[in-house]
Amino acid sequence: MLWRQNRRRLEAEAIRDAVLATAGTLDPTAGGPGWQDFRIEHPEHSPHYRYDLADPADRSTWRRSIYRFIVRSQTQPFMTSLDCADPSMRVEKRNESLSAIQALALLNNGFMTTQALEFAGRVAREAGDDPRAQVDRALRLAFGRAPTDEESTVLLELVGSHGLPAVCRTLVNLNEFTFID
Tens digits of per-residue pLDDT, 82-102? 888 777 778 787 778 788 888
Instruction: State mean pLDDT over 9-35.
Output: 91
Instruction: State mean pLDDT over 129-154.
Output: 95
What fold characterizes domain 105-180? serine acetyltransferase, domain 1 (1.10.3130)
DSSP string, 111-131: HHHHHHHHHHHHHHHHHTT-H
Instruction: State mean pLDDT over 94-112.
Output: 87
pLDDT grade for 170, boundaries at 50, 70 and 90: very high
User: What number of other Cβ atoms are within 10 A of residue 142's Cβ?
Assistant: 22
- Averaged pLDDT score across all residues of the chain: 88
pLDDT in tens, 48-82: 777 787 888 888 889 998 888 888 777 788 888 88
Statement: residue 42 has pLDDT above 90:
no
- Rounded Cα gap, residues 169 and 123, in angstroms: 12
Using DSSP, state whether 8 is helix, strand or coil. strand
Per-domain boundaries in the chain: 8-99, 105-180
Q: For the full predicted model, state whether its pTM sits above 0.75.
A: yes
- Rounded Cα gap, residues 164 and 118, in angstroms: 11
pLDDT of residue 41: 79
